[in-house]
Amino acid sequence: MLAQTRLEKTPTGGKQMSYDERVCSRCMGHRHLCGISPCPLLMRAKALSSIDSAVTGLDLTGSSPPSVFVGEQGYPKVLAGPLIPPVMGMDSAIMERPDLWLDKTIDEILSFRFNLVRTKKLIPVNAAVDPPRILSETQTLALSETPTSSEATLLKRPSFTSVFSDRTLPTGPSAPLQLFVLEDNPKVPRAVDKATSDTDLKAVGGIMEMFEDGVRQQQMTRLLSVGLLGEQRSRRLVPTKWSITAVDDIVGKALHKRVHRLPWINDYLVYVDHALGNTVALLFLPSGWQFEAMESWLGGLNPPIITDNEWSRGRKDYARSVAGAYYATRLPSLEHLTQMRRQAGVMVFMEIDPQKWVPLGVWRFREIARRALQSHGKKFSSLDEALEEVGRHLRNPIDRWLKVSKLYREFTTQTLITDFME
């Protein structure tokens, strides 16, 4: 039996390491862009991980949360494999549950992830049509709702290489994979079994069926990523990074259709929440569906604000500026409207404090937005009052946001046909 890993506290006090967020956010710990050697982020990652002492040989036994990672480099031949912690038992579930992380510290979150060994094997994406043994075991793991014990044989000892990405959850040390076998039978929810075993059902249909049945988003993303959804002939491995946004967008599009038929809200609603150095504020306007996501990295005198938006019919091209965070905040907005059985225009304001920041993935915006929307929110009868409330929670003055906002301009200048009816 391997030694149990422990979550170790990062030493507090003393001189804090400083990161240049602009460099780090591009480098993500593996391009050596800042010139400081060794990379401070990687050092922090290593300090939080006890993999070195826990994994001594090339055999790795542990309960995967379950978790799977599919890389995007080299597409259509990608590095894919399960993420396995060197521990057994149900405790590993939290390592793949970002929806439970908002109240954790950044170091706690990182230590969840850095205690997972990312195994990898080069697999062509279309192998999902007729999966070889190792992929088939990985797929079976992905079906499970709860941690499943497994055994892996590695080709090399795990090492820290790339740990961060702007979109996916942080990943721990990685190692090439030789063999992977499950020791337990996976616990597969019925909806998951139905959607994945139907080889005539398109991926979009499968995801929507699972969504209706309350399957967790993390699991749908995992299933899409390992190539278990879609018509048999067109099943593919999908890089984790793409599948996250794909699921946000697919569910969002379906809800968008429903929201379109609902009556407008009557007042202005404001929802705000903060976590992990990020602030998300959502302003719901009494109008037809339209959406805008704005994001600002704090720092400097006038930090730039980037924006993407869509009008009532949704967008067809990719939201290039705000990227993953656009889709990750659009989904909770649509979910909330569907629950309220109302239609509204939604403006999302996101601020990131780089001093508290490490790249955690876009899930944080999705989960902060969801938590904000679960709160009661505040109701206002005028736009000015609502904006004042939003401004209270942001560090950039509200006028700077409104200056770049497309939706604000549209909302305040576009008249309605009903304005001209007696």
Which residues are within 8 A (CB) of 6 and not within 5 positions of it... i.e. 6 or more apart? 50
Q: Is 198 in the site for other proteins (CB under 8 A)?
A: no
Q: How far is the CB of 194 from other proteins (least distance, A)?
A: 25
Q: Is 422 in the site for other proteins (CB under 8 A)?
A: yes
Question: Which CB, 225 or 405, lies closer to other proteins?
Answer: 405
Q: How far is the CB of 397 from other proteins (least distance, A)?
A: 19
Question: Which CB, 105 or 382, lies closer to other proteins?
Answer: 382
Which of these, 399, 269, 280, lies nearest to 345 by C-alpha position? 269
Q: How far is the CB of 287 from other proteins (least distance, A)?
A: 7
State whether residue 155 is helix, strand or coil: coil
Which of these, 265, 300, 301, 307, lies nearest to 284 by C-alpha position? 265
> What are the start-end ranges of the H helices in 203-260?
203-212, 217-225, 240-259
Q: CA–CA separation, 93 vs 75, rounded Å?
A: 29
| Mask for 66-105, x = binds other proteins (CB under 8 A) | ----------------------------------------
E strands of 261-384, at which residues? 268-275, 278-285, 290-297, 305-310, 345-352, 378-380
Q: How far is the CB of 411 from other proteins (least distance, A)?
A: 9
Q: Using CB under 8 A, which of 196, 343, 387, 394 touches other proteins? A: 343
| Region near other proteins per CB under 8 A, out of 138-146, 268-276, 363-371, 406-414 | 406-414
- 365 close to 350: Cβ distance less than 8 angstroms: yes
Please provide residue 284's backbone torsions phi and psi, each rounded to the nearest 5 degrees: -100, 125
Q: How far is the CB of 316 from other proteins (least distance, A)?
A: 12
Question: Which CB, 151 or 410, lies closer to other proteins?
Answer: 410
State whether residue 331 is helix, strand or coil: helix
Q: Is 312 in the site for other proteins (CB under 8 A)?
A: yes
Give the burial class of 406: count Cβ atoms within 10 A of its Cβ; 0-12 exposed, 13-18 middle, 19 or more buried.
Answer: middle
| Mask for 250-279, x = binds other proteins (CB under 8 A) | -------x--xx------------------
Q: How far is the CB of 257 from other proteins (least distance, A)?
A: 7
Bond preceding residue 124 cis, omega within 30 of 0: no
Q: Using CB under 8 A, which of 383, 385, 393, 400 touches other proteins? A: 383
Q: CA–CA separation, 293 vs 405, rounded Å?
A: 9
Cα distances (angstroms) measured from residue 386 to each of 32, 114, 330: 44, 41, 20
Question: Which CB, 12 or 418, lies closer to other proteins?
Answer: 418
Question: Which CB, 240 or 290, lies closer to other proteins?
Answer: 290
Q: Using CB under 8 A, which of 288, 299, 303, 377 touches other proteins? A: 288
| Region near other proteins per CB under 8 A, out of 12-20, 64-72, 285-293, 294-302 | 285-293
Q: Is 320 in the site for other proteins (CB under 8 A)?
A: no
Q: CA–CA separation, 137 vs 332, rounded Å?
A: 33
| Region near other proteins per CB under 8 A, out of 89-97, 210-218, 328-336, 412-420 | 412-420
Q: Is 290 in the site for other proteins (CB under 8 A)?
A: yes
Q: CA–CA separation, 106 vs 99, rounded Å?
A: 14
Q: Is 321 in the site for other proteins (CB under 8 A)?
A: no
Q: Using CB under 8 A, which of 289, 349, 357, 363 touches other proteins? A: 289
Which of these, 367, 355, 391, lies nearest to 274 by C-alpha position? 367
Q: Which residues bind other proteins (CB under 8 A)?
A: 257, 260-261, 287-290, 311-312, 343, 382-383, 410, 412-422
